[in-house]
């Protein structure tokens, strides 16, 4: 071997195996990265109080939720509901493509769909809102299976409160009372003058008369517009929403979320107000409320987690709200009771409506007869 070849062989023997070194370095880097990520998760969790809680459900299914309710450990249930619980009553939701309310407002010539619920636009152009109110006004629709399921929770002493985004008052028609309800986005139940200097209150009957006579409701005292107490964009939520939230959610044993896209704040953030051990059941046509990217990256936060390997409390039952509630009622042994309640309550509503129509027809008949009598005397 030449002196040059011998020298080259010696250099190769002294040179480290770069390929092997690269593999080892990669493994060490991955391990280091995992350790750093674990450290960050732990740090953020400790700092923000977001450590995973105890697993309460024996199975992340509707069956698991039913067994938990029947165990006797679940005593305080909160329901969070949106427009999806009323669609089977004939009331459109807001955001469904094609059928949602915002997709069918062209006839009102709005600059954009949401304008119909914006307070500044309303004060200048109240006509579109009141025209829509005639179509959707409470009293024309019956509560759904979902509404009556919540009534059953109340009757059985399990409902702490229902937090509703809806303005249709169907929770009240189904039998929930003021104390059972937080109407986060307001209600048609009362109305007020929009003037800050006046704020005179008006009843639901007064507002109904105005709306169906196609009069723009004006205050008797100051002449300003009168608006139902529903929360428009640009207005604050009721104070009771915030005070009750602080009291109710920390002691919640089960959060049931139904018929909402969880896109409107601050309502959507309520899902993170329960304890980290509290199970959360979503009954909806699609999954919603999952963690935002930043929170999901570290595997913590208030967002819903249905599918990751770290999921431990969130259950998604994808169906209509009525079907989901009936399925849960069946697992609880309440199905027949729920079916009978819906049938009985709907019959009562039909009976009241028939009596009301008969009374109105009688009054109209008397009024017509009186007018005819006056006419005869004049002649």
285 annotated ligand-binding residue: yes
CA atoms of 274 and 281, how far apart (whole Å)? 12
SS3 156: coil
20 annotated ligand-binding residue: no
Residue with tokens 């939701």: 93
Please report, to the nearest 10 degrees, the dihedral formed by the alpha carbons of residues 356, 361, 365, 371 taken in order.
80
229 annotated ligand-binding residue: no
H or E stretch at 202: strand 201-203
243 annotated ligand-binding residue: no
167 annotated ligand-binding residue: yes
260 annotated ligand-binding residue: yes
93 annotated ligand-binding residue: yes
78 annotated ligand-binding residue: no
Which residues, other chains included, contact 201 with Cβ-Cβ below 8 Å and sequence gap of 6+? 190, 191, 192
What backbone phi and psi angles, to 5 degrees, belong to 35?
-65, -40
Please report, to the nearest 10 degrees, the dihedral formed by the alpha carbons of residues 367, 371, 374, 379 taken in order.
-160
168 annotated ligand-binding residue: yes
Which residues, other chains included, contact 341 with Cβ-Cβ below 8 Å and sequence gap of 6+? 148, 151, 152
> H/E/C letters for each residue in 221-264?
CCCCEEEEEECCECCCCCHHHHHHHHHHHHHCCEEEEECCCCCC
Q: Identify whether 185 is a catalytic site residue.
A: yes
84 annotated ligand-binding residue: yes
83 annotated ligand-binding residue: yes
Query: What is the distance of C-alpha 315 from the center of its chain?
Result: 16
Regarding beta strands 280-284 and 254-258, do their DSSP bridges make them parallel or antiparallel, or are they unpaired? Answer: parallel
284 annotated ligand-binding residue: yes
Q: Could you give the angle at the alpha carbon of 136 between the alpha carbons of 135 and 138, nearest 5°? A: 125
330 annotated ligand-binding residue: no
162 annotated ligand-binding residue: no
85 annotated ligand-binding residue: yes
Among residues 147, 185, 189, 317, which one is catalytic?
185
Distances (CA, A) of 278 to 98, 174, 182, 300: 36, 27, 20, 14
165 annotated ligand-binding residue: yes
The answer to whether the CB of 45 falls within 8 A of the CB of 302 is: no
Annotated binding-site ranges for Zn(2+): 193, 198, 219, 222
Annotated binding-site ranges: 83-87, 93-95, 165-168, 193, 198, 219, 222, 260-261, 284-286, 321
Show which residues are catalytic.
185
Annotated binding-site ranges for NAD(+): 83-87, 93-95, 165-168, 260-261, 284-286, 321
């Amino acid at each position: 071997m030449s002196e040059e070849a011998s020298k080259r062989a010696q250099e190769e023997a002294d040179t480290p195996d770069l390929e092997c070194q690269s593999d080892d370095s990669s493994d060490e880097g991955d391990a280091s990265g995992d350790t750093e990520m674990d450290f960050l998760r732990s740090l953020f969790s400790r700092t923000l109080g977001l450590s995973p809680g105890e697993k309460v459900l024996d199975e992340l299914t509707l069956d698991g939720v039913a067994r938990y309710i029947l165990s006797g450990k679940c005593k305080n249930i909160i329901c969070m509901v949106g427009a999806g619980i009323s669609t089977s009553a004939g009331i459109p939701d807001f955001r469904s493509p094609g059928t949602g309310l915002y997709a069918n407002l062209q006839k009102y010539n709005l600059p954009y769909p949401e304008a119909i619920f914006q307070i500044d636009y309303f004060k200048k152009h109240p006509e579109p809102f009141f025209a829509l109110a005639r179509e959707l006004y409470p009293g024309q629709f019956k509560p759904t299976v979902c509404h009556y399921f919540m009534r059953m929770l109340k009757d059985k002493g399990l409902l702490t409160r229902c937090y509703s985004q809806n303005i249709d008052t169907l929770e009240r028609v189904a039998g929930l009372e003021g104390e059972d309800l937080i109407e986060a986005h307001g209600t048609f139940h009362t109305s007020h003058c929009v003037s800050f200097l006046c704020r005179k209150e008006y009843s639901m009957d007064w507002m109904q008369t105005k709306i169906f006579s196609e009069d723009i409701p004006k205050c008797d005292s100051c002449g300003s517009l009168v608006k139902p107490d529903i929360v428009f964009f640009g207005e604050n939520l009721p104070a009771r929403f915030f005070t009750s939230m602080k009291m109710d959610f920390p002691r919640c044993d089960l959060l049931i979320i139904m018929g909402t896209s969880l896109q409107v704040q601050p309502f959507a953030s309520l899902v993170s107000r329960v304890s980290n051990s509290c199970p959360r059941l979503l009954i909806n046509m699609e999954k919603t409320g999952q963690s935002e990217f930043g929170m999901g990256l570290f595997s913590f936060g208030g967002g819903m987690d249905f599918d990751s390997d770290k999921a431990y409390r969130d259950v998604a039952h994808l169906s209509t709200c009525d079907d989901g509630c009936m399925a849960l009622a069946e697992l609880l042994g309440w199905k027949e009771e729920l079916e009978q309640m819906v049938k009985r309550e709907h019959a009562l509503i039909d009976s009241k409506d028939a009596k009301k129509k008969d009374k109105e027809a009688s009054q109209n008949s008397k009024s017509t007869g009186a007018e005819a009598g006056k006419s005869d005397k004049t002649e």
